[in-house]
Amino acid sequence: MQSLSSLKDDFLQYIEIEKGRSALTVRNYEHYLTRFLDFIKVESPTDITESMMREYRVYLNRHPARAIKKGQAQETLDKKTQNYHLIALRAFLKYMRRQGVKSYDPERIELAKTQQRELDLISEKELENLMAAPDVTTIAGLRDKAILELFFSTGLRVSELCSLDRDTDLKTGEISVRGKGGKIRVVFVSGAAAISVKKYLEQRVDIDEAMFIDHSPRAHARMVKEESIRLTPRSVERIVEKYAVIAGIAKKCTPHVIRHSFATDLLYNGADLRTVQMMLGHASIATTQIYTNVTNKFLRDQFEKFHSKRVKN
């Protein structure tokens, strides 16, 4: 019988090759499973017991979230992170079952209950101020305006936006992007976003293939060496944060917040949940359902504003 360590290696190769998981996902699964195997200290799949599982759950619940300095309060892993460990473990056990290896029943692993996730959202006025914040008399400002417009038009993840190339055809009003798990989906580009991207690209004199590049002085040296100066996700996050400050938005504002605004705007205007799921590239509609709480509140507010007063009369 194969050892658990050997089976773990086989499983990681399986999710990378057969399932097409990203390098980051594979790395995370390896981290979670290695932590589990180091804890139980057995090599035979049949030696995993109920008591081991219970002790491991307690271990995760008490595990420090990060290293702390002297005098600081100790934070432990939140429920969401604990569940990431359990999801990876459950997938590993299911894989062994499909391979005919007897081990602990994956169906016995229940995820920890988590609090309802609250969405970070900005108002319609704040969104307008954000879009108007870049100085479009500069090439960096034109780039940033295009980035913001494209985010709200498409609901792209920041990594998906950064991977776009300048030869992407926007004339059709739609583009194909490769999202999580290598899955392809179509997103739609508004007229305003297409115009902003066109204006930006018309001012470009470089030959970098990336749609969005670094225009800071330090990027010139890299350009001379013919290195790509494509913007990184962290760089784009900083750009959004910068314009949130300029726009006077005090709350958290990131590319993902604009993605939230994209989704809620669709729902407010009548799109169904399944359509929003497809546009966001969510593998499960359960992920998309978080937006229903927001839209339900919106509908309640509309009822109170336009209908309930009439009913009282």
Q: Which residue among 166, 199, 242, 256 is the active-site one?
A: 256
Residue 98 annotated to the active site: no
* 3-class secondary structure, 175: strand
| 215 carries an active-site annotation | no
The single residue of 180, 204, 222, 230 carrying the catalytic annotation is 180
Is 85 among the catalytic positions? no
259 an active-site residue? yes
180 is catalytic: yes
Instruction: Tell me the C-alpha to C-alpha distance, in Å, between residue 20 and each of 87, 150, 160, 179, 185.
Output: 17, 27, 17, 12, 16
3-state helix, strand, coil in the chain (%, to 5): 60, 5, 35
DSSP letters spanning 229-294: -BPPHHHHHHHHHHHHHHTT--S---HHHHHHHHHHHHHHTT--HHHHHHHHT-SSHHHHTHHHHH
> Residue 185: CA atoms inside 13 Å, Cβ hemisphere, count?
21
| 21 is annotated as an active-site residue | no
Angle between helices 233-246 and 255-268 (to 10 degrees): 70
Coil vs helix vs strand at 207: coil
Distance CA 13, CA 23 (A): 11
Tokens of 294: 């927001």
Closest CA to 294 of 122, 119, 127: 119
Please report, for residues 8, 26, 29, 41, the alpha-carbon distance to residue 35 in angstroms, rounded to integers and kept in the order given.
Answer: 12, 14, 10, 10
| DSSP label at residue 48 | -
Q: Which of 157, 215, 243, 260 is catalytic?
A: 157
Residues with catalytic roles: 157, 180, 256, 259, 282, 291
